[in-house]
Structure 1
Amino acid sequence: MASMGVDGMISGLNTTDLINQLMQAEAVPQTLLKTKQTSTTTLVTALQALNAKVASLGDAAATATKPASWQAYKATASASSVTATTTATALPSELTLKVDTLASNQVSLLNFGGSGSPFTGTPPTFTIRTNADAVAASERKDVTVTAKSGSVEDVVKAINETTAAGVKAVAVKVDGAYKIQLTGSETGSTKDFAVFAGAAETLTSGSTAATMSELRKASDAQITLWPGSTAKVEVKSATNTFANVLDGVSFTVSALPKTDDPPVTLTVARDDAAVKKLASGLVGALGVVFSEISSRTATTTKTNEDGRTVVTGGMFSGDSAVRALNQQLQTAASHPVDGTSPAQVGIVIGRDGTFTFDDAKFTAALAADPAKVQKVVAGLAERVADVAKKTSDKVDGSLTLKITNQQGTVKDLGDQIANWDLRLASRRAGLQKTYSALEVSLSGLKSQSSWLAGQLASLPTYS
């Protein structure tokens, strides 16, 4: 705020301070607008935080209403060498099995030089054939590999860079001569491979593969179902994972049993922990919303300097929309479902209106009547989800609309504050002009006074 060039030199007044004091009085309405804009912005932030928590509650409630959420099953095996996972289509079941073999990939050694080496020509061109033992040519896959030079380093590099071949190579030096160890990337009996000299298009039915030393054969994993019975069945898999034996269950074998080990029992049963998480998660989400409302509704008490006690309400105190939301959620979560109180299945409401999850009571109820527990919790969740949707819907939720309205108020207050900036700037300019004119007028009067005093002093005096 720039001061005037001449600040009361004639009048003796501190015109800058005087104008500033006048402007403070003029700016009182704008200050009130700024205060209201700040409090409204704070309210919007608080409402947005509450709305996000209500939306999260709605998601938890919607999940608990879905029948698929309650069809949670967990598979366990009697041996640590078998691990299993389930999907939504799993059903209670029990299966005995014995692990016969594990899936393996092929590992072979190939001489780099000498008679029969496929790495000939300049540069060396050779073919890697996968599923080499397949009778039908259509089932085999030939991939041509060309090295930059005949060095062992370039041959190994060419093989490793040709990912389509499905083989990795490493050079091993033994007694001054190189051998190339080839390792298949995948397991299974159809993932065996052979190496031929020349490009794939030059191969014929009479082409002979290079001689390799087989360190490990490509093979399938195999299990026997119902071992020891007349109904036993052998099942194979290209990997150690069996995904199509039981609906909704995939299990992986990782070790062969010892001679005296009993068959492995795979059991699929209801996953009580997952079901419990549905209910406890719903109660937890309710608690978050109620806690948010309570913390922003609570009053604060303080004593003024004059000794009077002043009680101040929280930000949500008196807010009808928040109060209605609190009441609706209380009703939705506490009323019976088909005559059964939520408290009977472990969802308990306290005297202070808070909800808690009774783990022991829920577990006992689930063991006694799972269908009843599902009906009560899902029914309660459906009511809660309905309240949450009506409140936090992105388009027409009551809380969403209130937030939009308050944001409009903030914007309108901002426009009024900006208009006051222009009005106050104009008023200040007017005051500065007025006081400048006053100083000029007083300066002229002072000059005139001095002239008259001089004239009077020059008049003759008579005795």
Structure 2
Amino acid sequence: MTMSIGGLISGLDTNTLITQLLQAEAVPQAALKTRLSIATATAAAYRSVNTRFDALRAAAETMLKPETWTAVKATSSATSVAATATAGAPAGSLTFDVKNTAAAHSVVSGINWTATTDPYGMTSPIEVRAADGTVKGTITVGGDGTLADAVKAINDSEFGLSATAVKVADGQYRLQVTSKTSGAAASFDLGDASTFAVATQGVDAKLTVGSGTGAYDVTSSTNTFADLMSGVTITVSKPETGVTVEVDADPAAVATKMQAMVDAANYALSGIRANTDPDGGAASTLKGDSALRTLAGRVLDAVSFAVGDDGSPATIGIQLNKDGTIAFDAAKFSAALADDPALAQRLGAGGSAGPGPDGVSGNTDDVVPGVAQRLLDVAKVASDTTIGTLTLLAQGRDDLAGDIQDKIEAWDVRLVARKAALTRQFTAMETALGSLQNQSSWLAGQINSLPSWS
């Protein structure tokens, strides 16, 4: 491409002139770049707020789960006994003694080997027998028939056994085989009679409930007792006497989840405030956005309006602060939950409030949405991945940014062409000036060569 010769003839800085002319012509493109930056930042701001509303949706859905409101806790009087309860487990208590814990059956060979590479030496295949003497099958020692091969064969067998060559002293190895599962039913024997001796007897864990004539034992092949009390799992770790496990309602767990929902609502509100604050400067990308102001109003309405005939959410400790945030009194909530669980759940989540306008019970119009349901409805409208308000607003800005980017790229092409044209024009000017200068010099020479007449 022909390039400008930089004003060598004219004395003008043509390269700078071209740059300045291009800058003037690129003003519309610069405006487009500013618009692109704003559109991109706006889309990001909508998505930031959308993330907060999605968190609110998840927290509200948790509060609407029936098991949230039937949370219970299990406690044990002994640190060696752990107890957990599933939601809805009935309250109650049970006292027992831990007689023994479960153990896995283990046998050890009666002979020693000097090294794991020594021949196994005992009968092969190895006979595997159950606790009652019933033959379960055999294990063939492959390879070179060494102790190591016997260990591998036992470990690879289908009988649920774990074998290892134990070094008991220098040059002395014994073969120990242990059941992979604990309990009396997993007891076994190997080889010929007296080939192996019992190292650990497999036994069940045993609890004794009561101390009178009606006392009874409860066993488990593991140290875990499932549903000894309905919905309760108990795990023991050592013998213990006089252990009491109690199951009670756990209002604190419900309050924690309610607090999480209120925190999520406040988090969503703070996101709206940060992005719409008229005094927030450049960080307030969405100043004056009516959609966000409407969402904030709906969140506040959801936690402040009365719930049917049950009254204000303030009854369960949820109310508005003067600064437009939401307050939650966990102690008041727990007290209300203990005093009237059904009322607390209707206010917090929603539920039937009796016959609706049609006067017939059991219809959908009987259900009054509580705080959680109302917040969930708001969050879904905002953050639905397909038709959510914030989702569509962000997508709209993405589309706008895409259109602007296309225009910016078109301007790039236009400016490249314009630079080439200007370069050609200035180069032509310099060339023309150079030609004129040459002609002027020639004419001056011709004039100077004319004879002088005096």
Q: Aligning the two structures, in what range does the TM-score lie when normalised by the shorter sequence?
A: 0.7 to 0.9
Q: Closer, same or farther in 2 for the Cα pair 1:220/1:454, shift >3 Å?
A: same
Q: Secondary structure at the match of 2:93?
A: strand
Partner of 2:186: 191
**Separation in 1 of the partners of 2:65 and 2:414?**
60
Q: Do residues 420 (structure 1) and 396 (structure 2) align?
A: no
Farther off after superposition, 290-299 or 272-281: 290-299
Partner of 2:430: 439
Q: Closer, same or farther in 2 for the Cα pair 1:133/1:11, shift >3 Å?
A: same
Summarize the alignment of residues 45-444 of structure 1 with structure 2, pairs less than 5 Å apart.
Answer: 45-112=44-111, 125-129=124-128, 131-133=130-132, 141-149=136-144, 151-162=146-157, 164-173=159-168, 179-197=174-192, 209-225=193-209, 227-257=210-240, 261=241, 263-300=242-279, 314-338=284-308, 339-378=310-349, 379-444=370-435
Letter in 1 for 2:249: R
Task: State the number of aligned residues.
Answer: 429
Letter in 1 for 2:335: A
Q: Closer, same or farther in 2 for the Cα pair 1:341/1:131, shift >3 Å?
A: farther
Q: Among 417, 439, 442, which residue is 1:451 paired with?
A: 442
* TM-score, normalising length: structure 1: 0.84
Q: Closer, same or farther in 2 for the Cα pair 1:248/1:212, shift >3 Å?
A: same
By how many angstroms is 1:367 displaced?
2.6
By how many angstroms is 1:32 displaced?
0.6
Q: Closer, same or farther in 2 for the Cα pair 1:355/1:130, shift >3 Å?
A: farther
Partner of 1:308: none
Partner of 1:203: none
Gapped runs of 5+ residues in structure 1? 198-208, 302-310
**Separation in 2 of the partners of 1:56 and 1:130?**
58
CA contact 1:149–1:155 (8 Å) conserved in 2: no
CA contact 1:169–1:182 (8 Å) conserved in 2: yes
**Separation in 2 of the partners of 1:148 and 1:387?**
70
By how many angstroms is 1:89 displaced?
4.8
By how many angstroms is 1:160 displaced?
4.2
* TM-score, normalising length: structure 2: 0.86
Letter in 1 for 2:42: L
Q: Deviations over 1:23-79 (max 9, x none)?
A: 110000000101111121111112111111111110100110121221211111222
Alpha-carbon RMSD: 2.8
Q: Closer, same or farther in 2 for the Cα pair 1:458/1:215, shift >3 Å?
A: closer
Farther off after superposition, 369-378 or 348-357: 369-378
Q: Closer, same or farther in 2 for the Cα pair 1:108/1:167, shift >3 Å?
A: same
**Separation in 1 of the partners of 2:392 and 2:214?**
66
Letter in 2 for 1:320: S
Letter in 2 for 1:194: D
Q: Closer, same or farther in 2 for the Cα pair 1:342/1:5, shift >3 Å?
A: same
CA contact 1:125–1:147 (8 Å) conserved in 2: no
By how many angstroms is 1:212 displaced?
3.5
Q: Closer, same or farther in 2 for the Cα pair 1:123/1:235, shift >3 Å?
A: closer
CA contact 2:306–2:312 (8 Å) conserved in 1: yes
Q: Secondary structure at the match of 1:125?
A: coil
Q: Secondary structure at the match of 1:446?
A: helix
**Separation in 2 of the partners of 1:421 and 1:130?**
85
**Separation in 2 of the partners of 1:131 and 1:334?**
69
By how many angstroms is 1:334 displaced?
1.9
Q: Deviations over 1:271-325 (max 9, x none)?
A: 2232111110001111111111112222448xxxxxxxxx778212111221111
By how many angstroms is 1:358 displaced?
1.7
Q: Closer, same or farther in 2 for the Cα pair 1:113/1:418, shift >3 Å?
A: closer
Q: Closer, same or farther in 2 for the Cα pair 1:390/1:168, shift >3 Å?
A: same
Q: Secondary structure at the match of 1:171?
A: strand
Q: Closer, same or farther in 2 for the Cα pair 1:81/1:122, shift >3 Å?
A: closer
Q: Secondary structure at the match of 2:239?
A: coil
By how many angstroms is 1:147 displaced?
4.9
Q: Closer, same or farther in 2 for the Cα pair 1:358/1:460, shift >3 Å?
A: same
